[in-house]
A and B are shown apart, each in its own frame.
Chain A
Amino acid sequence: MTSKRLRYPLIAAAVGALLLVAADLQPAFAHKEKHTADQLQAFEDVFMEQVKLGDLLFHGDPATEKQLRVKLSGTGMACAMCHPYASDVHPHEFPKFQEQMNEFATLRNMINWCIEKPNEGEKIDADGPAMKALEAYIYWSNRNSKLDPGRH
């Protein structure tokens, strides 16, 4: 016969084991706790901060270029001069074969091509902060566009 001293820890262990099994059977989305409103706001803030930085780069703000140590144009032209509202960029169509580059290209490839060729600027780090900010602004400006990779 089990003594009272042993009985309670055994019950607790059994309940714990059952909970673990039950947790394992739950749908995958429950593996994390629900985000709080504050957390969601923080995620949004991080994203929008990048969008704003990208907006400034896209519109040729010299201070932001200096801050991120990039030179996006050697002609005085800024991205937004050909792409107001980031229109005619089509981020939702990448990756695709890009005729001007004669290769299969990602959006980041295309951004660098535009910087180097029409804008006569200096190619930027494909994974660097300036590229991430530009990408954030371009995607944000085209949100709700239909994903259509490969379309030319």
Chain B
Amino acid sequence: MSDREVLRREMEQTLSPPGERPDSSTVITRRTFLHKSLLYGTAGAAAYGLFPILNTIDLAFGQAGQSFKFAWISDTHLYPKNVNTRFVEKAVRAFKEVQEMNPPADFLIFGGDLGQLGDPVELQLGADLLKEVKLKKVFIPGEHDWYLDMGATWNKMFGKAPWSFDHKGVRFIGLDTISHAEDFWTARKMSAKDRMGHMATLDGTLGGAWAGVGAEQLKWLNGALASWPKNQPVVVFSHNPLYEYYPPWNFWVRDWREVHEILKPFSNVTNVHGHTHQVLYNEIGKMRSIGMLATSWPWPYAPEGLPALTQPMIRADPGDHFDGVGWSGLTMTANARVENEYKMWRKEVFAVAPPDSGSEDNRNQILSPRLADRI
């Protein structure tokens, strides 16, 4: 067992003591249950590890009776139109579909990586396309939006994170998990463009463990939740997952343990995150964490660390750039149920067996950091 695996198990034991589970209201909706039952039969579904189900999350809704929807879009990775328009087409489709939600969403959260290389042209293009969505919009940044000018354009156009607001009995929090990279560029005398290029390379190594919340923001988070009742729902938006999935690709935040210490007293916390471009689900202590799709392209599952509770998505067809991507609609129902639905632009989302998803590929592969980074 690797050191990382030992550490992961230790943390899970610490954060998820025996008998402590997320709120017992995690159930399966009739629609989803029928879907799974038709595919596998109830026993079959259990055998394939489809429970607990991903699509449905219940929140112990503090102010009963008010239902609402909200939508998540992230990872559009827009290039200037003269480079390519395929990501523009998909972003346009997602924005249009969010605007057409019926009943309408109360707000849209954009979860970062609007542009590909932080170019003001890309960010302006995103802002223009987002005009299609007339709803309230809130934003958190991704690393692709940031490292050309260290967030100057992003903050000016979309506002600073962190932030919080309350909506119908739920406290929503938006974190900045991307701006805390150690300075690898000054000593190497890199241009801003080179810095951005390295940060935009998922399997690059120069950026190191750049995903983090940071001491100042942890303090802010503590303060933002100080007066919030411990049994009221909290939804935390972050670009990166708030647990350790696969650090070499920054599929984590490096100070996730400190984040959990702050969230631990709350009985009902949901983390919704982007960056991983894939169907993901995990539970740490009482917190659920849901990974969102990108509209741009899907990442393969990481070689290790995929949460056991995730029912992986089907491997995407590289010949169809509308495959394996999309957005998410989340609904809080009148009886205090929130349902997350992946809008993946194809019929089936979940894989039946590991080979269909690639989630168990490369079990023997020797993983190596980029040679080209050894400079």
Please measure, in the bound complex, the distance between the C-alpha atom of A142 and the C-alpha atom of B86, giving whole angstroms: 30
Cβ of B366: which chain A residues have Cβ within 8 Å of it? Answer: 143-144
Establish whether residues A59 and B86, one from each chain, have CB atoms under 8 Å apart when the complex forms.
no
- Distance (whole angstroms) from the CB of A49 to the closest CB of chain B: 10
Query: Does A61 sit at the interface, judged by CB under 8 A?
Result: yes
Please name all residues of chain A whose beta carbon is closer than 8 Å to the beta carbon of B364 when the two chains form the complex: 144-146
* Interface flag for A131 (CB, 8 Å): no
Q: Give the complex CA separation of A61 and B364 in angstroms.
A: 28
Q: How far is the CA of A51 from the CA of B370 in the complex (A)?
A: 10
Q: A76-B83, A82-B297 given as contacts; is B317 within 8 A of A140 (CB)?
A: no
Instruction: Check A88–B203 contact: CB distance below 8 A.
Output: no
- Is A124 among interface residues, defined by CB-CB distance under 8 A? no
Mark out the residues of chain A between 116 and 130 whose CB falls within 8 Å of any chain B CB in the assembled complex.
117-118, 120
A69 in contact (CB, < 8 A)? no
Q: Per a CB cutoff under 8 Å, which of A83, A84, A118, A120 touches B249?
A: A84
**Residues B368 and A140 in contact, CB atoms below 8 Å apart:** yes
Q: What residues on B are CB-neighbors of A141 within 8 Å?
A: 365, 368
Let me know if B43 is at the binding interface, CB within 8 A: no
CB distance A80 to B84 under 8 Å? no
Q: What's the least CB distance linking B51 to chain A, in Å?
A: 27
How far apart are the CA atoms of A95 and B86 in the complex, in Å? 30
The answer to whether A61 and B365 touch across the interface, beta carbons within 8 angstroms, is no
Whether the Cβ atoms of B318 and A114 lie closer than 8 Å is: yes
Q: Decide yes or no: A90 and B361 within 8 Å by CB, A75-B84, A76-B116, A80-B203 being known contacts.
A: yes
Tell me if B17 counts as interface (CB < 8 A to partner A). Answer: no
Contact indicator per residue, chain B 350-375, by CB within 8 Å of chain A (1) or not (0) = 00000000100110111110111000
A111 within 8 A of B: no
Q: Which of A51, A76, A80, A100 has the most CB of B within 10 A?
A: A76
**Candidates B116, B300, B371, B372; contact of A61 at CB < 8 Å:** B372
Knowing A85-B303, A117-B318, the reply to whether A145 touches B202 (Cβ < 8 A) is: no
For chain A, which range describes its interface: under 10, 10 to 19, 20 to 34, or 35 or more residues? 20 to 34
Give the shortest distance, in Å, between A118 (CB) and chain B (any CB). 5
A contact residues around B116 at 8 Å (CB): 76
Residue from the set B203, B303, B317 with the largest chain A CB neighbour count within 10 Å: B203
Q: Is B317's CB under 8 angstroms from A56's CB? A: no
**B201 CB–A CB distance under 8 Å:** yes
Q: Does B103 interact with chain A (Cβ within 8 Å)?
A: no
Out of B318, B362, B372, name the residue touching A87 (CB < 8 Å).
B362
The chain A residue with its CB closest to the CB of B298 is A82
Q: Across the interface, do B84 and A144 meet the contact criterion of CB distance under 8 Å?
A: no
Interface assignment of B321: CB less than 8 Å from any CB of chain A: yes
Q: Mark A69-91, 1 if CB is under 8 A from B, else 0.
A: 00000111100111111011010
A87 near B303: Cβ-Cβ < 8 Å: yes
- B358 x A88 contact (CB < 8 A): yes
Q: What residues of B have a CB within 8 angstroms of the CB of A75 in the complex?
A: 79, 83-84, 86
CB pair B79 A76 closer than 8 Å: yes
A85 touches B203 (CB 8 A): yes
- CB pair B365–A100 under 8 Å, yes or no, is no
Q: Known contacts A80-B202, A117-B319; decide if A87 and B300 are in contact (CB<8 Å).
A: yes
B40 within 8 A of A: no
Is B185 in the interface zone, CB < 8 Å from A? no
Near B by CB (< 8 A), chain A positions 132-149 give 140-146
Of B83, B86, B248, B300, the contact of A88 (CB 8 Å cutoff): B300
Tell whether A105 is near chain B: CB-to-CB under 8 Å: no
B195: Cβ under 8 A from any A Cβ? no
What 8 pairs across the A-B complex have the smallest Cβ distances? A84-B203, A88-B300, A75-B84, A76-B83, A100-B319, A55-B372, A84-B202, A52-B371
Name A residues whose Cβ lies closer than 8 Å to a Cβ of B.
48, 51-52, 55-56, 59, 61, 74-77, 80-85, 87-88, 90, 100, 114, 117-118, 120, 140-146
